Amino acid sequence: MDYVELRISLKDDFHELLIAELVDLDFEGFEQLDDLLIASIPTNRFDDTKREEIEQKLMSFGGEPAVLSEKIITPKNWNEEWERTIKPQTIGEFYVHPTWSASPYDIGDKIELMIDPKMAFGTGYHATTRVMLEWLPEVISENDEVLDAGTGTGILAIAALKSGARSAFGFDVDEWSETNAYENILLNQVENFEVKLGSTEVIPEGNKYDVILANINRNTLIELLPELTEFLKEDGKLLLSGLLEEDEEVMLKQPAVQKFTHVGTRQHKEWIAILFEA
């Protein structure tokens, strides 16, 4: 089957957000090259309606994103193409790498996170994941119980467990996430991490958590906050990301967090994470 390949000019900080949108439109292959995103879809699933929808989505990112070219190509091994872009990296106290890129013989005192992503989410490359990972060892205390909203690859919950947390529960509405997170649980040999497909309705009734992690996007966070905060213990912590610098004021004014203390905000590029404490 032939594919339509779109070459999209877009700042690399926005790649993962657009990929999330394109997955919902049946795109299957992605290649990230600095400020260029290459996305591919089977020809029989692409039409003028999807083209217009993509152009509308690009407008929401601001700046001057644009589809530079559109052409028909023969199939590629998408996993092989994409895997070439995922490289080992040190993020704060963590050394993150996929299985196809072995860790060096000595990583010093870094905590190893072996993450094989199914899609281009939760690899640690995006600024929101980085800022969460950098902050996490300071947020997690020994024997904490953690809730990871929108767990994706499970990277944040796994990092929390390796930082001393006792248990973690993660949920995500993307079907690939449940399988992928469990694969990464096995790779990292962590225990007491349960993952469910769905949203807040799958959180075990009556459970309360010491730390709630949510690296999603502003609109989804605003929608989920009233429910999420009900699962936080009286002295718990809430760490949010998936937010742009200009989103801070909006998030601080949300009614669901007015009863909490704003501990601080940290930034990587134009992306931020916000920490609240009950």
CATH code of residue 41? 3.30.70
CB 98 within 8 A of CB 83: yes
Q: Is residue 96 part of a domain?
A: no
pLDDT score, position 52: 87
pLDDT score, position 126: 78
pLDDT score, position 120: 45
Q: Let me know whether 73 and 135 are in one domain.
A: no
What is the domain extent for residue 26? 3-81
In 3D space, the residue among 65, 61, 81 whose CA is nearest the CA of residue 73 turns out to be 81
DSSP string for residues in 50-84: HHHHHHHHHHTT-S--EEEEEEEE----HHHHHHT
Domain stop point among 44, 66, 81: 81
Q: Let me know whether 147 and 72 are in one domain.
A: no
Q: Let me know whether 8 and 131 are in one domain.
A: no
pLDDT score, position 112: 94
pLDDT score, position 261: 98
Domain stop point among 81, 107, 142: 81
* Sites in the chain below the pLDDT cut of 50: 120
Q: Is residue 64 part of a domain?
A: yes
Angle of CA points 215, 11, 90, to nearest 5°? 55
Q: Is residue 256 part of a domain?
A: yes
In 3D space, the residue among 32, 261, 245 whose CA is nearest the CA of residue 128 turns out to be 245
CB 191 within 8 A of CB 103: no
pLDDT score, position 80: 62
pLDDT score, position 84: 66
Question: Structurally, how many domains does the chain consist of?
Answer: 2
Q: Let me know whether 187 and 251 are in one domain.
A: yes
pLDDT score, position 78: 53
pLDDT score, position 274: 98
3-state secondary structure of 161: helix
pLDDT score, position 99: 86
Distance CA 30, CA 44 (A): 18
pTM for the whole structure:
0.76
CATH value at residue 177: 3.40.50.150
Helix (H) / strand (E) containing 209:
strand 209-215
pLDDT score, position 102: 73
CB 8 within 8 A of CB 66: yes
Residue type, position 126, single letter: H
In 3D space, the residue among 84, 77, 98 whose CA is nearest the CA of residue 29 turns out to be 77
pLDDT by residue (tens digit) across 23-69?
888 887 788 888 889 988 888 889 888 988 888 888 877 667 778 78
pLDDT score, position 135: 97
Domain stop point among 25, 55, 81: 81
Q: State the sign of the Cα–Cα–Cα–Cα dihedral 266, 176, 69, 77.
A: positive
Q: Is residue 113 part of a domain?
A: no
